[in-house]
């Protein structure tokens, strides 16, 4: 490495400055041979630069962040438009990534894989911000000629040095994290976690324990309140899956949900979520709390022909009004098989269940498809909320999403609200509901009930009066098959 740096020194504008561990190098200059398509440094140049950056980080006791960006389903772009248009898409993607990472380094490692290096002692939060910006920039349309354009979804793997181990481990472990992001549905980022690299025996054991967790009720639903934007009152909550392992502790959803999806275990877990959310609605109802719950449906559940019947059965068993349940479907999941998704959502809508398109703006839906989905609300992805206070383009995009939703007669929910500034801007734009750490973190059902009834501590915000209305029978609902009703549902 040192010989390579000495040979390169004469080509770089460092004058006679010695190149070594104590030198502050401009990483953009250590490029070596550039990639002919994008003009970015290639894999060899990037690995050399990474090694030097690690040496400097060790000397100065600083951190590094490495992000690997992979374009989801890039093969379909080449297959549809040809390799020449595919190369143009790669050039435009590189052009967008380069300014995001300056004055650090961007490189192309493989056909549809890019690397971004942050070397000024970044924290994980800084890497998360960069990853979110990359995902957002890639979603902007890229022209491919003759009035045609494509939008890109990316999976991003993130590693922090020295947390991830030796320099030789950084790229492989970033690829592992990227693969986990892709397995979770893509269009997202994931930080490397040690559990991701455990060998097949541990994965088999973790899967066995996950199966057992469903049987032993080790899975939990935590609830994050949703806020009525005009009044600031709590109107309901989103149910979020958690795994409280008896020896591992709380296992991250980023670790076990991709495993469940790969193994098919996501189907019984999804059924458990439906049942447990319905059970919790009944418990709250018996406590005098008429809380609305939102649950997330995976793409695998949408492919199950009996999904609507299972949800109807759970609501009947616990005698719950379907209007108290919201089913959230990500835009990406909805677009996997549009016709099948529409059929399922139409059944749920006919039952009176509220429907929400989650992560709106991160997928590939067209207005024609969006109009065909019987959704009651659109949920703005958190990536659009992140830069509202500092970026005019982010504000324009968020406002456009709100205006589009209003034009389609949908309500608008914004998630990931963390600052008062974001809260103010979204209220001004006309969002109907807000959700995020600014208001409340996810909490257990018991904690939320205590908060609602004001039995512990000062109440920081009010619940809507409708949550405490007396429950009453609203009559019978027709079953999906058009036969006789199977019992009353109550508020």
Question: Given pLDDT bands bounded at 50, 70 and 90, which one contains residue 200?
Answer: low
For residue 207, with 0-12 CB atoms within 10 Å meaning exposed, 13-18 middle and 19 or more buried, which class applies? Answer: middle
Angle at 61 between CA 55 and CA 63, to 5 degrees: 80
- Given this model, what pLDDT does residue 3 score? 36
Partners of 236 in beta bridges: 226, 292
Q: Among candidates 71, 68, 72, 101, which has minimal Cα distance to 192?
A: 68
pLDDT mean over 299-315:
88
**Is the pLDDT assigned to residue 33 strictly greater than 70?**
no
Assess whether the previous peptide bond of 162 is cis (omega < 30° from 0). yes
- How high is the mean pLDDT of the chain? 80
CA–CA separation, 454 vs 438, rounded Å?
A: 19
Q: What is the DSSP string of 244-265?
A: EETTTEEE-HHHHHHHHHHHTT
- Given this model, what pLDDT does residue 482 score? 33
3-state helix, strand, coil in the chain (%, to 5): 45, 20, 30
415-435 per-position pLDDT tens digit: 989 999 999 999 999 999 999
Cite the DSSP H helix spans in 65-199.
Answer: 74-81, 83-101, 124-138, 170-183
* Beta-strand pair 188-191/154-161: parallel
User: 0.75 cut: is pTM over it?
Assistant: no
Choose from 149-153, 331-335, 468-472 the range with maximum mean pLDDT: 149-153
435-454 per-position pLDDT tens digit: 998 998 899 999 888 877 76
Retrieve residue 180's tokens.
């986990």
The rounded percent of the chain whose pLDDT value lies above 90 is 34
């Amino acid at each position: 490495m040192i010989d390579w740096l000495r040979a390169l020194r004469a080509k770089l504008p460092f004058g006679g400055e010695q190149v070594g561990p104590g030198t502050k190098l401009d990483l953009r200059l250590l490029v070596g041979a550039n990639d002919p398509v994008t003009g970015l440094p290639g894999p060899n140049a990037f690995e050399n630069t990474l090694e030097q950056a690690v040496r400097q980080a060790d000397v100065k006791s600083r951190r590094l962040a490495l992000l690997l960006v992979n374009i989801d389903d890039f093969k379909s772009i080449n297959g549809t438009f040809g390799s020449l248009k595919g190369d143009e898409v790669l050039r435009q993607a590189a052009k967008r990534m380069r300014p995001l990472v300056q004055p650090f380094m961007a490189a192309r490692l493989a056909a549809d894989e890019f690397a971004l290096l942050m070397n000024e002692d970044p924290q994980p939060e800084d890497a998360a911000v960069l990853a979110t910006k990359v995902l957002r920039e890639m979603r902007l349309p890229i022209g491919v000629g003759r009035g045609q354009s494509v939008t890109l979804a990316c999976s991003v793997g993130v590693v922090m040095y020295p947390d991830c181990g030796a320099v030789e481990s950084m790229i492989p472990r970033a690829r592992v994290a990227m693969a986990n992001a892709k397995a979770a549905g893509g269009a997202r980022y994931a930080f490397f976690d040690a559990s991701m690299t455990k060998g097949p025996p541990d994965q088999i054991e973790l899967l066995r324990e996950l199966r057992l967790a469903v049987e032993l009720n080790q899975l939990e639903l935590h609830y994050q309140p949703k806020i009525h934007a005009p009044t600031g009152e709590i109107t309901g909550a989103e149910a979020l899956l958690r795994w409280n392992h008896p020896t591992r502790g709380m296992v991250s959803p980023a670790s076990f949900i991709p495993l469940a999806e790969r193994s098919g275990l996501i189907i019984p877990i999804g059924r458990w979520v439906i049942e447990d959310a319905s059970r919790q609605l009944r418990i709250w109802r018996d406590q005098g709390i008429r809380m609305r719950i939102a649950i997330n449906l995976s793409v695998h559940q949408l492919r199950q022909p009996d999904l609507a019947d299972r949800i109807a059965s759970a609501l009947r068993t616990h005698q719950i009004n379907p209007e108290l349940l919201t089913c959230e479907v990500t835009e990406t999941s909805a677009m996997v098989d549009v016709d099948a998704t529409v059929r399922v959502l139409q059944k749920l809508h006919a039952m009176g269940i509220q429907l929400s398109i989650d992560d709106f703006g991160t997928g590939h839906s067209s207005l024609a498809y969006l109009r065909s989905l019987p959704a009651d609300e659109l949920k703005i992805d958190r990536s659009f909320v992140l830069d509202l206070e500092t970026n005019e383009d982010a504000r324009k995009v968020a406002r456009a999403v709100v205006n589009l939703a209003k034009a389609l007669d949908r309500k608008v929910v914004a998630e990931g609200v963390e600052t008062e500034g974001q809260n103010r801007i979204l209220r001004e734009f006309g969002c109907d509901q807000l959700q995020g750490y600014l208001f409340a973190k996810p909490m257990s059902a018991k904690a939320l009930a205590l908060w609602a009834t004001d039995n512990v501590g000062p109440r920081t915000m009010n619940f809507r009066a409708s949550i405490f209305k007396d429950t009453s029978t609203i009559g019978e609902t027709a079953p999906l098959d058009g036969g006789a009703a199977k019992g009353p549902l109550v508020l």
